[in-house]
Amino acid sequence: MRGTNVPIASAKPRRMTLPRIHIGRPQCLAALLLLAFLAQCLWVVGHQQLSTADDRFARCGREMWERPSPLAGTFTTCGNLNGDGTFAYRVAGLPLTLKRLALLAVDHLRAPANRLYSGDSLNGTTWESRHQLAFVLVLIHLPFVFFALLLGGGLWWVTRRLYGNEGGFFALGLYCFCPAVVRMSVTPNNDLLAMWGLYGLVYTAIGVAHAMQGPRRRWRPRILLLAIALGLTAAAHLLAAIFGFIAALVFMLYLAERRRSYVFQVLLISTIGALAILFAFFGFHPAAFSYVFTGGAARFWFSLAGIRSFVLNRGFAGSLANLPILTAFAVATLLYCAVRRSRYFGNTAPLLVVLALAPLITTQTVSAPWLWALPFFFTFIGGVFADALETRTRKLFLLLTGAILAAQAMECLLALPLIAR
């Protein structure tokens, strides 16, 4: 045939190329905000002391990594963790376990008379080297600071893609200088991990719904990521995972359009993968895993206690630590109701999540679902302000945005000594 001078066999197969990572001024400015957040957390950790909660998370986390409890019928000496997620225990215990294993590895190089332990098996010497561990508080608390930084990076990435640089910077700035976020980031807890997992779960589901409009070869990695997000969220808190699953279902059905028939299949595959991840968090112990379904972690009711706690700044001696954030939310809500261009899916989705999460309280476990709403809260504020910055009143809103960030940074810095108590 004419026009076919090149043999078909000579066509080169398409190669998979990794996305290029470009670090420009926006990335550097976001890194500066995260460094400021890290500095606050490190200052608080440096002024903290070990508590009974630290000891519990570290001890039970080490048992999960090193050996199960010998007590009959229990997963660890903390019991079967009825309703309490295992994620935070494993995060708190992992650095101590790794350091202990390093000490034992070095110990084999010493003379027998100078060794830290005695015995031939590692299983028989789980706790003998515990007194040689140094910087225990730092090792327990820093992993949670790391997850808070990951959440901040994810928040900036999502808001920047949705609203541009200005919306992303404003949302990240409010996050980095929120006293409630700093307080969660410097103590072992499952709420921070549930917040991290839920935010990733919802926006991964939205990404999957968008990918379903394209070729199927792009579905698999996103579905795998959705399963991982759902599994890690469930390992932190079962109620957060159930809420995220429902939110994912609603948003995916809305966005999938012609591919809605595939949504249930995608979520079924993700749920099976999430259950496998959750089973692994319980060390593949069926008896301990059964308490996920009988422990009552998903029991909830409705209350405004969490909202009042955030508005009235409880725990900060009546300070105005959240007043700039609340001012930004009031302005964003007014603009959302008054300006039609602000009422679109990118702003409505995080607002719906905030309205659904804020009044929830757990009845079986001690947790704070209103904290899980904070990343969506900042996303909504950043989106509405980004829209306002594209109008004729840009200069006015630039001034307002800068004033809110400066005031919030000052209030957060003043609250750090109270957080460190």
Binned at pLDDT 50, 70 and 90, residue 290 comes out as: confident
Indicate if the pLDDT at residue 324 is higher than 90: yes
Residue 312 is predicted with a pLDDT of: 80
Residue type, 397: F
Which run of H or E residues covers position 367?
Answer: none
Query: Which whole number is the average pLDDT over 260-276?
Result: 95
Q: Distance between CA 387 and CA 340 in Å, rounded? A: 11
d(CA 208, CA 216): 11
179-210 per-residue burial string, b: 16 or more CB within 10 A, e: under 16: bbbbbbbbbbbbbbbbbbbbbbbbbbbbbbbe
CB 37 within 8 A of CB 176: yes
pLDDT value at position 175? 98
Q: Give the highest mean pLDDT range of 77-91, 248-262, 301-315.
A: 248-262
The predicted structure's pLDDT at residue 4? 45
Q: Are 415 and 183 in contact (CB under 8 A)?
A: no
pTM: 0.90
**pLDDT above 70 covers what percent of the chain?**
85
Given 3-state DSSP classes, what are the helix, strand and coil percentages for the chain, each rounded to the nearest 5? 70, 0, 30
Question: Could you tell me the pLDDT band of residue 198, with boundaries at 50, 70 and 90?
Answer: very high
Confidence of residue 124 (pLDDT cuts 50, 70, 90): very low
What would the mean pLDDT of 138-152 be, rounded to a whole number? Answer: 96
Residue 261 main-chain phi, psi, to 5 deg: -65, -20
> What mean pLDDT is predicted for residues 102-119?
70
pLDDT of residue 319: 63
Residue 132 has pLDDT above 70, yes or no: no
Per the CB < 8 A criterion, the answer to whether 229 and 204 are in contact is yes
Q: Minimal CA–CA distance to 207: which of 228, 226, 234, 227?
A: 226
Give CA–CA dist 345/289, Å, rounded: 38
The answer to which of 113-122, 285-294, 329-338 has the lowest mean pLDDT is 113-122
Calculate mean pLDDT across residues 260-280: 95
**Lowest-confidence range among 85-99, 313-327, 385-399?**
313-327
pLDDT band at 127 (very low <50, low <70, confident <90, very high): very low
CA pair distance 100, 134, nearest whole angstrom: 10
Between 113 and 168, where is the model more confident?
168
* Residue 378 · residue 155 · CB < 8 Å: yes
What's the distance, Cα to Cα, between the start and end of the chain in Å?
Answer: 82
**Residue ranges of E strands in 262-339:** 300-302
Q: How confident is the model at residue 338 (pLDDT cuts 50, 70, 90)?
A: very high
Ranking 202-206, 324-328, 417-421 by mean pLDDT, the lowest is 417-421
Residue 318 predicted with pLDDT over 60: no
Comparing 32-41, 97-106, 172-181, 361-370, which segment has the lowest mean pLDDT?
97-106
| Domain ranges, ordered by start, for the chain | 65-132, 142-419
59 compared with 276, residue with greater pLDDT: 276
pLDDT for 82 equals 56
In percent, the amount of the chain with pLDDT more than 90 equals 60
- What pLDDT digit, counting tens, does each position of 4-53 carry? 444 444 444 445 455 566 678 888 999 999 999 999 999 999 999 989 98
- On average, the pLDDT of the chain sits at 86
